[in-house]
A and B are shown apart, each in its own frame.
Chain A
């Protein structure tokens, strides 16, 4: 059933139901109205709500003060659920028919895609995040009701506090903002925020602020008694004159310090008090007689407690967050060292193996040559000498391979750790990729994987960092080959494709390896995540991605378990100026 709920005015809290069998409901001050409002600003017969089917319309009956819907003066207005009707000083909330409490949200909520008969709503007003804080200023009644004005102002202070604390992760900055807000809102002379040091549990001043005109050199002296009370009782205190307040009887300190009015509130967080906020103001004796009213009220205290709580939550969050970041950083460093040392150990193992073979071969050689000298020289044993040389060669190959591995690791680490600008110059992506393919042929042969290279003949010279992209492509092709190492008929296909319409060049690396599980697809671009066991450094893909991103491109991955994976490098095709002017740029067939 449709209804009007009085949210403000003499009849506040009363709900008037708009009975379905009544076509017209009248509103006014007189007793004869369907809805009688006890409001002197309301005309005797002020307005009517007319019903037509499910539609309700409010019609002003030439009232002296007018009828407002959502703060807008209206003669006649169709009502929608949630509309606010203002008549005189009374505010009413209109709720349309058919709005019932839903039993199961999913059954009762339809998101209507198109504006149809079911959806009569339209956007009448939008409020941005920034404007949100301003809503508390507006409204014609702000001047009319001091209570409402104060409530709004308080709400605004809280809103702005909430905003202030939610927009920073820097504690010092946060405290400065809080202090600033407090000073905008209350006439304090001096203020400060003290935080509890985590180690010593002592209060340490963090921020201090003075009202303009108050000497900044003047020290804020805060009574230990007040601080102790606040910390111990977890209560905010408002002190006007120390001598009147029996809580401070024991301590003469306040009197001596000359504090007239002060508010000190705990910053109560979820778990503990993280600090206190203190403000004070001193009125000279003469003026205090002339103007005996207090500057700080209980309302100020209440609001300060709320601000203190908000600030404390933010401080706790920030502390928690930095502790988390710190521990994550340490964990990451630990993981980095573990992964690197493991990898370096493997390389070392390889170098030791190679050196061992070289030593063995050299030893054989020395023995064979020694036999040709001396008292009974033998002829040179050529086959054995050749065999020794072969052993040395084999050992050297292993040493060299591991030397390359350590240099690649160092390069990857460097690329990954350094903020660098790609060294752009005109170059051929087909050539760079071709080099990578040639480099990987041996490895492909070793793994018995077919390596196919399909360059796009229409790919022009482009501007990019050839060294960087070489590295990026190399890492991806290496991965593809490794993925195929256990495949029956392993095959890796590398293809370049120029897409001038999208100003893109696409380099696709497809393998028929085992594929990558969906859960791993996002992870593989994370540093030090390797699915290759001891063979992977976990640096390859992150490095490739970094280089490609530096070029303004991206790498994406399609993979199906049991079928294979495809890595697509998309780079913006930047045609060098020189090429543009000479008109060498090829045309794509249409």
Chain B
């Protein structure tokens, strides 16, 4: 049995998590969420989701280099990582940057697209 495609949402804002969960669940995706970066990292290693969404405004106190750890984990697993925040860096095959404040419709389209791509490569 093919496990459903899943998305891990790591975001300090409960509202943002809620919106993403509601929108993505309708599209048949399984959702894991974490309010803290360190918890998110544990979930990422445990569930190996198809895609990770990480809000970079996440509690700065929980550790500065956690985004970097996420990046390493994501690269190791070839999991697309969508980073929400104010980092000016060009996106590559793994890391996709989305500037805040973002609109949800394009973000969700992008997530869907990336999950589909990841699924396609996984089948190959």
Contact = CB atoms under 8 A, between A and B. Distances in A.
Contacts of B103: 352, 356
A384 B17 CA distance: 22
Interface in B87-124: 100-105
Q: How large is the interface on A (under 10, 10 to 19, 20 to 34, 35 or more residues)?
A: 20 to 34
B38 to A, nearest CB: 11
Interface string B51-85: 00000011111000000000000000000000000
Contacts of B102: 349, 352
B42 interface: no
Contacts of A349: 13, 16, 100-102
B22 A354 contact: no
B2 interface: no
A49 to B, nearest CB: 73
B22 A346 contact: no
A356 B108 CA distance: 11
Given A345-B100, A352-B104, A533-B57, A401 B15 contact: yes
A391 B13 CA distance: 18
A350 B19 CA distance: 9
Contacts of B36: 486
Contacts of B100: 345, 349
A354 B12 contact: no
B13 A350 contact: yes
Nearest to A350: B15
A353 B57 contact: no
A346 B57 contact: yes
A535 B12 contact: yes
A345 B101 CA distance: 6
B60 A353 contact: no
Interface residues of B, number: 22
A356 B23 contact: yes
Given A349-B100, A391-B22, A394-B18, A356 B105 contact: yes
Interface string A511-552: 000000000000000000001011100000000000000000
Contacts of B14: 446
B48 to A, nearest CB: 26
A533 to B, nearest CB: 5
Interface string B1-38: 00000000000111110110011001000000000100
Nearest to A391: B22
B23 to A, nearest CB: 7
A382 to B, nearest CB: 18
A345 B55 CA distance: 14
A301 interface: no
Interface in A349-380: 349-350, 352-354, 356-357, 360
Given A346-B57, A349-B101, A398-B18, A533 B12 contact: yes
Contacts of B13: 346, 349-350
A398 B19 contact: yes
A346 B58 CA distance: 12
A204 B24 CA distance: 72
A537 B12 CA distance: 15
Given A346-B101, A352-B103, A394-B18, 20 more contacts: A346-B57, A349-B13, A349-B101, A350-B13, A350-B16, A352-B104, A353-B16, A353-B19, A354-B19, A356-B104, A357-B22, A360-B22, A394-B22, A402-B15, A446-B14, A486-B36, A531-B61, A533-B12, A533-B59, A534-B12
11 contacts: A346-B13, A346-B101, A350-B13, A350-B15, A352-B102, A352-B103, A353-B104, A354-B15, A398-B19, A533-B57, A534-B57
Shortest beta-carbon contacts, A-B, top 6? A353-B19, A356-B104, A534-B57, A349-B101, A398-B15, A350-B15
